[in-house]
Amino acid sequence: MATDFRQEFIRFSVSKKVLCFGEFKTKAGRLSPYFLNAGLFYDGASLKQLAQFYAKAILAAGIEFDMVFGPAYKGIPLVAAVAIALADAGRNVRYSFNRKEAKDHGEGGSVIGAPLAGRVLIVDDVISAGTSVRESVNLILASNAVPCGVAIALDRMERGTGELSAVQEVERSYNIPVISIATLDNLVDYLRTEPQHAQHLAAVGRYREQYGVTAHA
């Protein structure tokens, strides 16, 4: 099945204790029964496997892109690893990332790597408030390039500031698709197949009833 890698990603994240269950306070102040911290994929083998999942999700989405861009700071190792994984999958593309502070010596500027040009796919870990995406989109547009999508690890499918999810807000604001390796739907499917996670399934279900989006675009 085309979606097998999504379940594999959930299992991989749980096995690495990157996806945890319990009680976690989100940026929005909500108490979430689960949390994914992509920053914990901090060894070479884990980062390589994570990048391969990104590459599978990106290629499965079938969108057109000329290069990938990683917003500082979490996007920096991600975009480099994803570029390698895409090349291994037969799709060699340029990549770049930005620094938080513009440099006024050496090569100067705020973008490192390939010049932003053509259709640019943003690679990040998650979308919370959408701040990182907004900054990336503005940077890409300022270079006369075209932001064509965002790739993230997990779509939590919960409301942002209004009735839409943070992902839906980004899609509507910038008219670009958001690709995720996995979604809350995939997480729920995983929990349903694991009897030892019955209590977590119930907690995720309650949380989703309270904060979930009614439909995903």
Domains delineated in the chain: 4-211 (3.40.50.2020)
Given 100, 103, 197, 200, which residue is catalytic? Answer: 103
| Enclosing H/E stretch for 22 | strand 19-25
Whether the per-residue pLDDT at 217 is higher than 50: the answer is no
Q: How far is the C-alpha of 69 from the C-alpha of 151, rounded, in Å?
A: 10
Q: How far is the C-alpha of 182 from the C-alpha of 12, rounded, in Å?
A: 12
Q: How far is the C-alpha of 163 from the C-alpha of 88, rounded, in Å?
A: 40
Q: Write down the pTM of the prediction.
A: 0.92
Is 100 assigned a catalytic role?
no
Strand pairing category for 146-155 and 119-123: parallel
Q: How far is the C-alpha of 176 from the C-alpha of 87, rounded, in Å?
A: 24
Report pLDDT digits (tens) over 94-132: 999 998 876 555 554 689 999 999 999 999 998 877 888
Given 105, 197, 200, 216, which residue is catalytic? Answer: 105
Contact between 126 and 23 (Cβ < 8 Å):
no
Q: How far is the C-alpha of 2 from the C-alpha of 141, rounded, in Å?
A: 33
Per-residue pLDDT band for 1 (boundaries 50, 70, 90) equals: very low
What is the pLDDT at residue 3? 54
What is the pLDDT at residue 103? 57
Contact between 154 and 178 (Cβ < 8 Å):
no
Is 200 assigned a catalytic role?
no
User: To the nearest whole number, what is the mean pLDDT of the chain?
Assistant: 92
> DSSP E strands: which ranges in 84-177?
94-103, 109-113, 119-123, 146-155
